Structure 1
Amino acid sequence: MEEAPAASGSGAAQPARRVGVELRVGLSTLLGRDRYPGEIAGWGPVTAEVARTLVTAQRAAQWRFALTDDTGQLLLAGITRRRPHNTAPASELPPCRGGIVELHLPVALLTDLAAHPDTCSEWTEVAADLAAQYTKYLRCGWSEPTDQDPSARFAGAVLRRHVQIRDRSCVYPGCRATARSADLDHTVDHTHGGPTTGANSGPLCRHDHQLKTVGRWRLHQPDPGHFTWTSPLGRIYRTAPPPIINDLAQPRPRPDDPHPWPFARSNNDMPILQRPPPQPDPQPPPAPPDPDQPPPF
């Protein structure tokens, strides 16, 4: 979380304003059901404790959600204006401006929260809002924003947000630029009749956007979020949207953790590096044969 410089002047020094970050974290982690790490887009993973602190500090940020299926793939993306009640401990960081909080949750968790709202604690209103949007999604049956005019030159905020959550980063093979910082490219150029829809859009960083536009790379999107690149030499590279929720191993609790969570330790859960067992002292070499003795045959 960056700090903006304080305003200069003759008055008393003002505390530096903190600028928010794009934080991705599972709702189950914020509910205290697990301690999976969060992620700061473009930076990397952060511990569950840091993620909870950042969420508390970014209550004024834009809160997005990504609802996934059992395999972690995106089903529904949107925003929520609900916030948890102020019953949680105060954050160690002062409130900040800007930033994004992206909540991840599978359908199974949302169904459980909707059936047992008493288990949501201060997150009851957030869970109810997400359940209402999911119910509307099931009733309407749309898989991407429908309020976007396909003939428009530029995508609206809803479509842009949907594509950013779906693709996560620049869709060029190996590029790690965040989707939020990239251009929203038309796979089939708008000037060539390409519609402004999710099935014809993808995030490209400025460098890779130029490769497609003037670098003789060809791009095809056979399915929404699945891209096929053809290099000037004819080599083909394919990319697919990564899962929103990865199947991670349960983190181990710290030895000084006052609130450890139950976990099972397998027999094969051994440290990678360990001291080798002590070896017995080597046996002395056998005595050389006496040359004066007759042979044994």
Structure 2
Amino acid sequence: MEELTGSAGSDGDIAALAEIVASVESVAAQLTAAQVAEVRLLAQAGQLAEKQASGARANVRVHDMALRAIAAEVGGVLRLTDRTVQQRIGEAREIVECYPAALAEWEAGCLTRGHVRVIVDAGAVVPPALRAEFEREAIARCRIDTPNRVRAGLEILAERMADRSFTDRHRDACTSRAVRVVPGRNGMSDVVASVPTVIADGVFDRLTQQAQSVVDARESGDDDARTIDQVRADVFADLLLAGSPSLDPTATGDAPGVLGAIRAQVQVIVPVLTLLGADDGPVDLVGRSPIDADTARCLAANASNWARVLTEPIQGVVLAVDRYSTPWPQRRYLRARDQHCRFPGCRRAAIRCEIDHTIDAALGGPTALWNLAHLCQRHHSMKQFTRWKVRQLPGGVLEWTSPTGRIYREDAPAPPVFFAPAAIAGSASAPF
């Protein structure tokens, strides 16, 4: 038999690999210890919020505000949004309080974070009285296999222990149906719809049939070279943006307009040089991710109205907003200045936010530009009902102080300013 050479490596290579593997194992152990410690601390943060609200006679709002304030405090040091931290606090409490044995196995290095996540996800349908039994069996299975291999078995095990039928749970799950937009890269995003499986299959099948009809209708020499995936995506967008819903309660009543006539509203910041075709850099879709210059110019060309914003040419600070054809010059100015919610880390677009008086109007705060800023409903409520405090400095700068005294400076985001070689001095940006 021919001896294998080279592929197995020399003794020196094997020794080097052994050292790498040992180092990886050591780092993994340190990472596990840190992850478990973080889970325990986040759970403590959630328990503290519950303690703070304990005297409020089961007032859900008080508890939620306490949790938001604490999540924002922790998010400040982790550089994460308070929404993300609040979700992680909930997950941490579930692990610590409902699956202590699995957490101990993870801490001992017998299970991984992935194993624990699978146990928690599958165990969601298991009644509390049977949770310990489920946890013991799940740990035994996880010790001998990878998370992806044990997932199906644990889900079946959990189903057998569930005290409610799958049909009943599906009926409840339908109440959480929703549509979400997940920003992606290169001006693309994912539209995610959580709907019943049969509806999802039906939607996809109809899109496929319509897309296939478009492909089949192509004639020889047709310039349309789109794949069926691309056509399916285009049909999906066309139907949602221009189609009329079959169930339209405004069609025959006295409600304003009809659902089929509603069009999407977006807020885009387009530098004038991009409008003129002198710059092809990315353009800001406020609250989301950049879009390409061609799309921005197309939106500008078809916009029924748009606001002209004069900016300082170097730093992009908003200097003025035109006041023609609008009864709300302050709102237009603030929308151009703020672009999004002004709580640290939040990117909810200004058109989806509320205009807040930094000094409350009830306390004598004037409705003046230096006392106004956009806050989303979540962070507007936090300002009112938690110990987070804010003051507005010149130039639209907000200075937030957390309950523990940490200070976060939130500068007004400057609209993007780009210069072309032949650019004139000064620049303007147009949100529409």
TM-score normalised by the chain length of structure 2: 0.36
Name the residue aligned to 2:344: 173
Name the residue aligned to 1:75: 319
State the one-letter code of the partner of 1:226.
Answer: V
Match of 1:25, SS state, is strand
Name the residue aligned to 2:280: 35
Name the residue aligned to 2:309: 66
What is the number of residues matched between the two proteins? 171
Separation of aligned partners in 2, 1:75 and 1:209: 26
Cα offset, 1:208, TM superposition: 0.6
Name the residue aligned to 1:221: 392
Does the alignment pair 1:183 with 2:354? Answer: yes
Report if aligned partners of 2:318, 2:414 keep a CA contact under 8 Å in 1: yes
State the one-letter code of the partner of 1:189.
Answer: D
- CA change 1:57–1:20 in 2 (3 A) is farther
State the one-letter code of the partner of 2:345.
Answer: G
Cα offset, 1:157, TM superposition: 1.6
Cα offset, 1:199, TM superposition: 0.3
State the one-letter code of the partner of 1:236.
Answer: I
- CA change 1:80–1:26 in 2 (3 A) is farther
The answer to which structure has the higher strand fraction is 1
State the one-letter code of the partner of 1:64.
Answer: A
Q: Within 5 Å, which residues of 2 pair with 1:20-31?
A: 20-31=265-276
- CA change 1:219–1:167 in 2 (3 A) is same
Separation of aligned partners in 1, 2:418 and 2:302: 28
User: What per-residue deviation string (whole Å, max 9, x for no partner) do you get for residues 135-158 of structure 1?
Assistant: xxxxxxxxxxxx9xxxxxxxx721
Name the residue aligned to 1:6: 244
- CA change 1:17–1:159 in 2 (3 A) is closer
Name the residue aligned to 1:202: 373
Report if aligned partners of 2:283, 2:291 keep a CA contact under 8 Å in 1: yes
CA RMSD of aligned residues (A): 2.9
- CA change 1:17–1:208 in 2 (3 A) is closer
State the one-letter code of the partner of 2:267.
Answer: E
State the one-letter code of the partner of 1:222.
Answer: L
Structure 2: runs of 5 or more not aligned: 1-236, 248-259, 423-432
The answer to which structure has the higher helix fraction is 2
Q: Within 5 Å, which residues of 2 pair with 1:86-165?
A: 157-165=328-336
More contact order relative to length (CA 8 Å, sep ≥ 6): 1
Name the residue aligned to 2:67: none
- CA change 1:230–1:245 in 2 (3 A) is same
Q: Within 5 Å, which residues of 2 pair with 1:210-289?
A: 210-246=381-417
Identity %: 35
TM-score normalised by the chain length of structure 1: 0.52
Match of 1:161, SS state, is helix
Separation of aligned partners in 1, 2:262 and 2:348: 26
